[in-house]
Structures are given as C-alpha cells and as structure tokens.
Amino acid sequence: MPSKTTGFLRAAALALLFALHGGTAFAAPAEAEGVALVAEGGVARARQVAIRDALEQLGLRSAARVDIAAGAGTRGKTLDSSRIQPAAEFDRYSIVREWQTGQLLHVRVQVKEEEARPRGNLNLGYRKKIVVTPFHLRSSPQLDDVDDIATRLPQELLRRLSGSGKFLGKDSPYVIAPGASGPATDVAAVRRIATMHDAQFVIAGEIVDASKFGKPAYYGLIKKDARRIEIAFYVYDGLSGSLIARRTAVAEGVGEQRIGRDKPFGSASFAATPFGGAILRALDEGADQIAQDLAPLPFMAKVVQVQGERVFIDAGSTSSVAPGDQLVVYRLDARQQVYGSDPLAPLGTVEAPVGTLSIVQVQPGFAIGKLDPPASARQVSAGDLVRFDVALAPAEKDAGR
C-alpha cells in the first residue's frame, strides 16, 4: 500500500506536468460539426468544405480575432462591418461522424486543443455566390472533336472556382451570347440569370479560336502540328448587370490535334492529349484571373424576410457567415438609376445605408440578424442588401505603412 508521502509526490508530479503543458495536458478532445452543400464537386468536395467549416469553428474556440471594415455613414453615425475569425488552426484532426440530410453533408470533426497553432494567413473573405452560363462558340466546326465543350468547360470552371473555397457556385442553362464586338450589353438578361440563381456575380464566356497551325521547330527547319485554344471570360455584376472584367486565356498544344468525343471533358484521358491539356491550362489561367478580379469586391447578400426586429438574409454558414458578424444594410432607390454614356445600360442604383445587422443565428442557407438601431428594421424590406466591405489583411496593412 503506497504511503502518504508517495501519494503526495505523485500528485505533485501530475500537477507540475499539468502546469508545464499550459493546463491542457489532460484536456478532453474538442469537437465541432461542419456543413456543406453537395453540388457539382460531389460528396468528396463537400466533405473538404465541411471539414474546413468545422476546423474554423474549433479555431475560433482556441483563439479569435475581430476584423473591422469601415462602412458607410448615416445621420452622422458611421456604420462598420465586422467579423470574428479564428486566429488559431489545426493541422491534425479526426472525423468522428459523417451523415447527409438532403443535399447537405454534415461532418463532425475532433481535435486536440493543445495542438492549436497561430493562424498566419487569415481569410477575410466570405464565400461569394456565382453562377456560370454555357459558353458561346464562335466557330462550332473547329470543336466537333470535343465532347460538349460549350457546357462542360464552364462546369469545369465552376468546379475550380468552388474548389478554391472562396465561392458558392451554380450553373445556368441560359447562354449570354456576346455581341459582334465583345460581351453582351443585355444587362436585363444578366440580372435575370443572377436573380434566378440567387447569385452575386454571373460568369459567361466565349471560345474564340480552336484552330490548327504549323509551329516552327528546330530553328524553323520544320513545322510541327499544333492547335491553339483562345477563351474569353466575362464577369458581370448580378445586381446591375454591368461588365466587371473581361479576361482572355490562350494556350497551345503541340502534337496530336484531335481529342475525340470518346474522352469525357476534363477526364484523365482528355488531359493526356496535347490539345486537351492546352484547354485545361487555359481554363486554370481563366479561373485564377476571375478569382483575382472578384477578390477585392465586397461580399453581398439580400434580405429575404423581415419579422419584427429579425432580418433574414440569403447567406448562411455555407457562405462563411457566423454568429457575431456585423453587416451594413442598404436600401436601394430604384428611382435613382445612374447611367454613363450608354442610356440603356445603368451603372448601378443609389444606395442608402440603414443600419448594422448583427448576426444572431445561422443555418446553412440563411442567417438571422438584428438591426442597430432596432427602429431601423421598419425601414428594411425583402430585396434590400447587406454587405461586408473588404478589409486589408494585417500583412497588407503593414506593407502600406
């Protein structure tokens, strides 16, 4: 039977070990549940997004920081947007449980809190909603050897953009055909597609060229068979219908020119062909350019319901909205359309800030918030906007000093 002295020494040793490890040496593992929408990327992609969501929740529990972006002012008061973000992250985790309800995948993740480490590069962005339309073919006969490229290429673009974790995407069956000299000026069509698919931005495009040519080789002594792909990408603002960015990607494949419809678009057999590889390289370039164009633009959602002091918006946990976030609510004045040189294409609509919406409850597809000041809820109705203006990351702020 151990003596009192032995028991005392053992207890002291355990207390010392506990103190040396910051009081967490024997802490129980922490768990959190992540949720993601099963879309084009399938269950595997949704699982990655859900795990990221759960790890962000666990990072918030270990350490958090608040980022504030200056908003608009109304009646002498400045309205700020803010969001709470995890300042810690985990490299190791285990999946406790996984299940699906409808189109939502739930993943419960477990970590050891003592393994949390400081998060270096904080993601200040919410997941912005996009919709991608079929691409227009300038010369269909050039691409008769490629399996349904007008639809498959934008779907593959959507998969890449959604896979970045920065966007929530849908695809549309409606084509936005470019005019003779470039992108369409039919802003009404762009706005209709954005409204139908609940998207902040609309992405369309055109396959300009897929011609064959002889590429000089060996100091011009011979020519090798080659084929060029040129793709134009058009990014529109869904609210106004105006063109935000126009990008072009060009790539060449040297060698076998035909792909064959037996090779599904984007598959390994497709990518193994010289021209298929060139198409996917151009697609990667376009996806990177679009992500860069949309990165500095503010996240925006819409008010869908107002019940007393509670305001419902069409963005939830799948958009990275979390309880405690604050967004500025704006009312649109449809009577004050702003036009530039084109009287048929409005540049936008005048906005008036109403108040700050503090998020109190979040579901995967929507969130509920309360307005400050509370009386301003009477001025808000379905169709109004909420926005988080982009803030600079700490490294960017320091670099600007």
> With contact defined as beta carbons under 8 Å apart, do 104 and 36 qualify?
yes
The whole-chain average pLDDT of the chain stands at 80
Single-letter amino acid code for the residue at 81: S
Give the per-residue pLDDT at 137. Answer: 92
For 38-96, the pLDDT digits (tens) are 876 678 878 888 888 888 778 777 655 445 454 555 544 555 555 555 667 788 899 99
Q: Residues near 341 by Cβ (< 8 Å), separated by ≥ 6?
A: none
> With contact defined as beta carbons under 8 Å apart, do 388 and 200 qualify?
no
Annotate 271-292 with three-state secondary structure.
Answer: HHCHHHHHHHHHHHHHHHHHHH
Task: Classify residue 365 by its DSSP letter.
Answer: S
How far apart are alpha carbons 59 and 305 in whole angstroms? 31
Q: What are phi and psi of 160, to 5 degrees?
A: -65, -45
Give the per-residue pLDDT at 36. Answer: 82
For 217-242, the pLDDT digits (tens) are 766 667 788 899 999 999 999 988 88
Q: Which of 310, 302, 295, 323 is nearest to 83 (CA)?
A: 323
pTM of the model: 0.69
Residues of the chain with pLDDT > 90, as a percent, come to 38
For 366-382, the pLDDT digits (tens) are 999 998 888 788 888 89
How many CB atoms are closer than 10 A to CB 382?
A: 12
